[in-house]
Chains A and B, each alone.
Chain A
Amino acid sequence: MGNVENSMREIAQELLSEGKVDVIVGYGQGTLPLRTTPCFINKAEDVPKLVWNASCDANLSRYLVGREDKVGVVAKGCDARAILVCTVEKQILRENVVIIGVPCPGVIDKKKVEAKLDGKEALDAIIEDEEIKVKGEEFEYVLPIEDFTCDSCLTCRHRNPPIYDVLVGEKAPEAPDADEFAEVSSLESRSAEERWAHFEEELSKCIRCYACRNVCPLCYCKECFVDQTMPAWFGKTNRLSDTMIYHIVRAFHVAGRCVDCGACSRACPMDINLRQLVKKTEKIVRERFNYEAGISLEEVPPLGEFKMQDAQEFIR
């Protein structure tokens, strides 16, 4: 990790001092253990603030939409795919972005670490290649990183950015053939009643804080449908019906676009498994239209086109 961090800083230094970019968007050290924060670097002398480790989980593509200056951005596999989707959707100008691609073995799911700590407060954490050392008052854990990796990273098939201008470090080996839709399939095998009960329980935790929307690299609408008042499509209450509709429509809106970066699940303060909902849309689009988001700049997004021979078994 250390090497990657150093060469990332060298590249950032070079880009800034040669004037190729106006700003570098990367990760900076956060104020809490296992936290990094998005970090905007304008001056070459600030480059040492850049960090890279397994807690760099934010999807920085989020910060590119709407920028008009030249930006160098640190991008993991999923981040680069999100940038690609935003570029296809004409939200990001490719020539304005220098993508500093970083092969990523997976990021830490802080919620899993918190669950392990069981209410105890971590005061310091050191991330090494294979393990996390978490220290607090009167305890110290050495945790194997692979047990605390984010769910979406465990089945990630795009650890290396599909698009980049500079690649930092060496390409990561792709994940073993884990079934990325395992969770979705297991839900599908249950009855409609069971699924409804499951989602009722899961989504009734929602407090409508919209963290999932705000963190999503693809939720860039100037006005989200839940904020619209003329007409006010759906209620803003946290009654179950309104909450479920918010999540259904959000999942629908990212259908064929979601790159499964897992940001929504990580951002959720109520620990709702949003991935199992959004992942379904990915599966539908894969099966019906044979499309995977964030792979190619040329392919038209599936819901923006059609084929005469599209399946229509559900239409009479």
Chain B
Amino acid sequence: MKTVEMERNPKILAFLCNWCSYAGADLAGIGRMQYPPNIRVVRVPCSGRVNPYFIIKALQRGWDGVLVSGCHPGDCHYISGNLVARRRFAVLKDLLEYLGIEPGRVNFSWVSAAEGEKFANVVNDVVDKVKALGPAERLVKV
């Protein structure tokens, strides 16, 4: 039953940076590009604002996937927020995968304010990946 529901409805939490990816998502909307309605957006000032706690907490709360998206390297509104975040995410992602969390659960992307189409593609891909994985079980606090 849960899988059927999942096929229709995986829940993905997306942290989008205010300056690029959020605007990119907006552009996707303005351009009427189609992407699945499975993401719930949290607007953050910068991808550097995304504490690893947010990601882990989302997994614990039963979100089926997490997407973190920020400005391309060099384009950060705060000069280097995304670059510091990149190192942090690299360690976190490797560590979670080492523990056995499926690689597709936690996703990262750079989407600029002009890349509405890329945003739609990223969401499509993430949703496909998460659907293929099925409902999150590992780390979920039931």
Chain B residues in 8 Å Cβ range of A198? 100
Chain A residues in 8 Å Cβ range of B93? 314
> Is B87 a contact partner of A303 (Cβ separation < 8 A)?
yes
> Is A251 a contact partner of B95 (Cβ separation < 8 A)?
yes
A255 to B125, CA, bound (A): 30
> A278-316: contact bitstring with B at CB < 8 Å (1 yes, 0 no)?
001100110011000000000000110111101110111
Within 8 A of A (CB), among B107-137: 107-110, 122, 125
A280 to B57, CA, bound (A): 21
> Is A188 a contact partner of B98 (Cβ separation < 8 A)?
yes
| B60, B99, B107: residue with the most chain A Cβ atoms closer than 10 Å | B99
| A225, A248, A255, A289: residue with the most chain B Cβ atoms closer than 10 Å | A248
> Is B91 a contact partner of A252 (Cβ separation < 8 A)?
yes
> A147-183: contact bitstring with B at CB < 8 Å (1 yes, 0 no)?
0000000000000000000000000000000000000
Q: B99's contact among A196, A289, A303, A316, by CB below 8 Å, is which?
A: A196
Give 19 A-B pairs besides A194-B100, A306-B84 with Cβ atoms closer than 8 angstroms: A192-B102, A193-B100, A241-B139, A241-B140, A241-B141, A242-B60, A245-B139, A252-B95, A255-B91, A281-B95, A284-B91, A288-B94, A306-B86, A306-B87, A310-B86, A312-B90, A315-B89, A316-B109, A316-B122
Which of A98-106, A137-145, A207-215, A232-240 touches B?
Answer: A232-240
Whether a CB of chain B sits under 8 angstroms from the CB of A122 is no
Chain A residues in 8 Å Cβ range of B86? 306, 310, 312, 315
Chain B residues in 8 Å Cβ range of A251? 95
> Is B138 a contact partner of A196 (Cβ separation < 8 A)?
yes
Nearest CB on B from A256, distance (A): 8
Chain A residues in 8 Å Cβ range of B138? 196
Whether a CB of chain A sits under 8 angstroms from the CB of B27 is no
Chain B residues in 8 Å Cβ range of A281? 91, 95
Chain A residues in 8 Å Cβ range of B56? 234, 245, 248-249
Q: Which 5 A-B pairs have the closest CB atoms?
A: A196-B100, A306-B83, A241-B141, A316-B109, A195-B100
Chain B residues in 8 Å Cβ range of A197? 100
> Is A303 a contact partner of B91 (Cβ separation < 8 A)?
yes
Whether a CB of chain A sits under 8 angstroms from the CB of B74 is yes
A310 to B110, CA, bound (A): 14
Q: A306-B87, A314-B89, A315-B109 are in contact. Are A239 and B99 (CB under 8 A)?
A: no
Q: A188-B98, A192-B102, A248-B56 are in contact. Are A315 and B83 (CB under 8 A)?
A: no
Minimal Cβ-Cβ distance residue in B for A253: B52
Nearest CB on A from B141, distance (A): 4
Chain A residues in 8 Å Cβ range of B95? 248, 251-252, 255, 280-281, 284
Whether a CB of chain A sits under 8 angstroms from the CB of B6 is no
Q: B80's contact among A184, A249, A306, by CB below 8 Å, is which?
A: A306
> Is A235 a contact partner of B90 (Cβ separation < 8 A)?
no
Q: How many residues of A contact B (CB 8 A)?
A: 45
Q: A248's contact among B74, B89, B96, B142, by CB below 8 Å, is which?
A: B96
Q: A188-B98, A195-B98 are in contact. Are A252 and B92 (CB under 8 A)?
A: yes
> Is B83 a contact partner of A310 (Cβ separation < 8 A)?
yes
Chain B residues in 8 Å Cβ range of A193? 100
A92 to B93, CA, bound (A): 31
Minimal Cβ-Cβ distance residue in B for A237: B141
Whether a CB of chain B sits under 8 angstroms from the CB of A63 is no
Q: A239's contact among B74, B109, B141, by CB below 8 Å, is which?
A: B141
Whether a CB of chain B sits under 8 angstroms from the CB of A15 is no
Q: List 19 A-B contacts (CB under 8 A).
A: A187-B98, A195-B100, A196-B100, A198-B100, A233-B57, A241-B139, A249-B56, A252-B95, A255-B91, A281-B95, A284-B90, A285-B91, A288-B87, A288-B91, A305-B84, A308-B74, A308-B83, A310-B86, A314-B89
A311 to B93, CA, bound (A): 13
Chain A residues in 8 Å Cβ range of B57? 233-234
Minimal Cβ-Cβ distance residue in B for A316: B109
Chain B residues in 8 Å Cβ range of A234? 53, 56-57, 60
